[in-house]
Structures are given as C-alpha cells and as structure tokens.
Amino acid sequence: FCFNYYARLGNKVNNIDVVYTPWSNLKKTPSMDVGQVGFHNSKMVRTLRVEKRINEIVNRLSRTKVERTPDLKAEREAVNAAERAERKQHMREKKRREELERLEKERQVEIRSYKGLMVSEKMTSNKQIAETSKSLQELEEDFM
C-alpha cells in the first residue's frame, strides 16, 4: 500500500489525515498541481486521523527514506528488449509447431494416398505367374 499526507507539512503539525490506498488507485493527470493526486475508486481509500505527531515514527521513516534518480530510458529499453526477445521466442516456437504440424499432415496424406499402392516393381503379370509353374490355387494359398 502507498500512503500520502493531505497536509504538505504533515510531519510538522498535529491533527493530520493520513490517506492509505493501493498505488494502483492513485490518479494523476497533467492538469493537477505538483503534489496533488486523485483516486480512481474512492471506496478503496482509507483515511486515518493522527491527533499528535509521534517523533519516533517520523524519525524511523526519514531514516529509511531512499531517494534515487533512475535512468528511466535505460530501464524502458531493457524492458522493451526483454519483451521483444520473449515475442521472438514465442514466434520461433509457433513456427516450429506449425512446421511439425505441416510435416505430420504431409505424412498422413502420404499414408492415405494410393501412390505407393500401384508400384510396378511389386506387380506380377500373368506371364510371370505362368513362368513360376505354380498353379492358381497354390498362389491363392500363398496369398492368404
């Protein structure tokens, strides 16, 4: 959760309202002043009235406060590069799956086709049968 102080001098005065809301509920538009925020859903906002300032808490917060100036452009480029790499990986996998499916379809079509059924090397003519000197009944029995 993110917390904000309504009063600009929130850590120096008593009787302040502390507002608790998830960061995703914060709304900031370009027309707002510096330090001003709004909320998308007012039902997600919790307000707590602090009657008297507690120095221990304020000091603990100020000790853990970290200010950094991130290189937003480099971070954005890194995120974009990671997204591009992920998309490329997905595309490679998709192409590989499509190629496997295409090969499987070709194999199934080859299995179902009659192309391999009528091969002249496997055929026997009546002359060849007559030359083997086997009777028709013997050939039928061999066939079965």
Smallest CA-to-CA distance from 48 within 20, 10, 11 is with 20
> Distance between CA 100 and CA 94 in Å, rounded?
10
The pTM (predicted TM-score) of the whole model is: 0.40
Q: pLDDT confidence of 6, banded at 50, 70, 90?
A: very low
CB 38 within 8 A of CB 65: no
Per-residue pLDDT, 143: 67
Count each helix (H run) and each strand (E run) in the chain, helices first.
4, 5
Choice between 52 and 80, residue whose per-residue pLDDT is larger: 80
Q: pLDDT confidence of 4, banded at 50, 70, 90?
A: very low
Per-residue pLDDT, 7: 36
* Backbone dihedral region for residue 35 (phi beyond 0: left; psi -120 to 50: alpha; all else: beta): left
Amino acid in the structure at residue 135? S
Domain boundaries, the chain: 2-53, 71-117
- Please provide the average confidence, as pLDDT, over all residues in the chain: 81
